[in-house]
A = this chain, B = another copy of it.
């Protein structure tokens, strides 16, 4: 991208274009907006990113990104410790929390099993999940995974393993209502709330 803007600005544009949803063109627009709005945008965003880099870690219990460990959800005594909602990524957890329909705790797998992409059980946060299941407090594991092949494969794999180690733990699935192929965090909040209530 020889834009004549100099190496610092070109590097900024190149890195911005790596953000999901930003191509080279929108990365240039974003760079220009940052540089033109130094005080209102560039400096606050830089400091927010620096804060995030310094302080964000993964909760050692559920794997969620958080600035405290355990995260706020795991640390909250008011959350129901008998239910764990299993999600692929933090974005799904964030979507659930915006809806506010779920009062239990979470487990963030950090991905989905995929033969195609070579994602194996040991690549996901599964050992910790089985540990939590074995701890004895958990009565229900809610699979809030995408209605895709990978999502369903992962859900069934987890259900099988749970059945082997803890027969008393019920494994449930979000009701249809989550469109096939749909990622959770792209759904409207009402759909998620409904799918939650009628989970099977």
Q: Which residues of A contact B (CB under 8 A)?
A: 1-9, 11-12, 15-16, 18-22, 25-26, 28-30, 32-36, 38, 41-46, 48-53, 55-56, 64-68, 71-73, 89-91, 93-98, 100, 185-186
Number of identical monomers bound together in the oligomeric complex: 2
Question: In the complex, are the beta carbons of A4 and B67 less than 8 A apart?
Answer: no
Hey, which chain B residues are within 8 Å of A48, CB to CB? 8, 11-12, 15
Interface of A is mostly: helix
A152 to chain B, nearest CB (A): 22
Contact of A65 with B5 at beta-carbon distance under 8 Å, contacts A19-B30, A22-B22, A30-B21 already known: yes
- Pairs A–B under 8 Å by Cβ, sample size 21: A4-B72, A4-B94, A5-B65, A5-B90, A5-B97, A6-B66, A8-B56, A8-B67, A15-B41, A16-B45, A18-B41, A19-B34, A19-B41, A20-B29, A25-B185, A32-B65, A32-B89, A32-B90, A45-B49, A49-B49, A50-B50
